[in-house]
Structure formats: structure tokens, C-alpha cells
Amino acid sequence: MIQYNMKLSQIAKDYDIKITNDINISGLNDLINAKETEITFLHDIKYKEQLKQTKASAVFVTKEFSNLCPKTSVPIVCENPYIAMAKTTKLFSKPLYKTTGAKPNIDKTTKLKENTALGFDTTIGKGSVIFDGVFIGDDVFIGNNCIIYPNVSIYSGTTIGDDCIIHAGTVIGSDGFGFANDGGKYIKIHHNGVVKIANDVEIGSNTSIDKAVFGATIIENGVRIDNLVHIAHNCHIGKGVIITGQCGFAGSSKLGDYVVIGAQSGVSGHLSIAPYTTISARSGVTKTIKNSHKQYTGFPIMEHKIWLKIQSKIQKLLPKDKR
């Protein structure tokens, strides 16, 4: 992955702070995952405990919470840290494509059909088949025995493991839907992360998996994803998860291992679903699910057995000829 270094003074030039130790900053990250060479931000009071633990070298923060920054982190005091973060993502955004680099490294047993576009520094393993019209960007890694069907687009920096199948029209690694509202003007949040897909994953046609704002959107081993599914930035889909058609997952959703999601269901952002949970079709997950091995139904969701009782009572309220 390309790394960019920038002096902290360059980033903080629009803010009234004095930089005594002008360190190099390599990128942005969230409070928990930020490294010593990165900058982070606090935009919500509920994350203030994470602020106290961050390893970031600098933090965009309001004056109210600046005293919570660790001694190792420089507080960059601003009115709206979320807007500051959004503007800073542009400073670390990668070029749209490389103009130089190594030619694609493709194993001799892999078959490429016509009209396939390959970027620099890309690797494809043994025994894979890449069909017509596939676009594969720079710095992409595709493992062994994969099948990529026609007109799939795989953006730069994506990693795909062994034995994966990706059906026609799917897009992997596009920008997530991220904008910060600055007084009615929408500031684009540049998505500088990647998508990482593990082994034995099958993805249906016309599905979109967005790359992370920072870090990675992750699909674990053995996942099965149906057609017309949207997985937003920074989601983490656990092992053996089944996602059926027309489902949508907002940013930073986390699905535990072997979760089953019924068709046309939606999951709100920054929520977790416990392993071995079943979500019935057309359900809306609006809160974190902590207990495993349960089924949920409805919008908003409730335990399936409670939903059945409610439906039964509603039926009894109707005249017999209307039931």
C-alpha cells in the first residue's frame, strides 16, 4: 500500500496551535486503531474513553475535550473535528491510478479472456479464470483457483484469497457514501482504505463492497453473498455468514460468524450482530445484538417468537372474514 508522509505543521496550518515537535504523519485512523504516526479525531462524546487510550500523534478535538488527550497526542483544537477529518482525508488520498510500476504477475495456469484491464503491481495466482470485461486496478492480489465473471470491477489495493467466485457486474473497492455537512456544503470523505476478502467466498452479481475510510472492509472465510447486496465501508463480515439478496449494511457494521441475513434486510451503522444469529427477511436491525443463537424479525427487530405472538393477537382483532 502507498504511504504518504506529511508534517504535522502542514496539516495544522489552518488551526491556531503551536507545533513544538513537527513530526511526520503517515495517515488518518480511528481512535482505537491509530498508530503513533497517524492523526485521529473525536466527533462524538461517547468515544471520549477511547480518546484517553489513543496512540495517535495528533487528535482533532473540540476545546471541551482537549484535556482528555494523552500526553503523547497533540490536540488540534477545532470547532468541528468531523469536518476537519473529512478535509484531511483528501491530503492522504491516493492517485486514481499508477503511471509506473511492475507489470502484472499472472501465473501461467491462469486464463484471461479478452478485454481484461490489469493495473500495475497486481498478482493473480494459479488456476484462476478471469472473464471478458473485467477491470483489475493497481496493487490488487487475487489468489489461486478464483473465478471472476464478466464486467467485474476490482479497485486498487483489493486483496482476494483462494477459491473465490465473483459474479458478473459486481464492484469491489469503490468509495463508500461518506460526506461531512459543512453548513449545507457536503465535504467528500476520501476513502483511503481497502477491501480484504479471505478464502472460499462467493459473491453474487451486481453486488457492491465499499473500501474502508481507513483500514479495511473485511470479508472472512466461507462467506456467501447473494445478488444486489451493498456492504458499506469498514464493515466486517465474519466467517461463514450468509447474506441473501437485496440486503444493505451501513458503515462499520460487524456480523459475527455464521450469521444468516434474510432478503431485503438492513443493518444500521456501527452495530454488531452476535454469532449464529438469524435475521428474517425484510427486517431492520437498529440495535446491537449481543446474544447468539436467536432469530429476529420485523422493523425494528424483535425476537421472532415475540413477533409471532404479536401477529397472532393482531389477527384476532380482525373480523373472521378479514383474517
Who's near 5: CB < 8 A, 6+ residues apart? 24, 25, 26
Distance set, CA 305 to CA 44, 73, 280 (Å)? 36, 50, 12
* Separation CA 286–CA 265 (nearest Å): 11
Who's near 105: CB < 8 A, 6+ residues apart? 122, 123, 124
Q: How many residues does the chain have?
A: 323
Phi, psi of 208 (to 5 degrees): -125, 130
* Separation CA 79–CA 60 (nearest Å): 9
* Separation CA 197–CA 85 (nearest Å): 27
Give bridge partners of residue 254 from the DSSP assignment.
Answer: 236, 272
User: Hey, which residues are catalytic here?
Assistant: 233
* Separation CA 57–CA 38 (nearest Å): 6
CB 207 within 8 A of CB 227: yes
Return the ∠ at Cα 271 (arms to 269 and 272), rounded to 5°. 145
C-alpha cell at 24: 511526520
C-alpha cell at 294: 436467536
C-alpha cell at 33: 486503531
Return the closest-CA partner of residue 231 out of 258, 256, 203, 192: 203
Residue 124 CB coordination number (10 Å): 23
Residue 249 CB coordination number (10 Å): 29
Distance set, CA 101 to CA 118, 128, 196 (Å)? 12, 23, 22
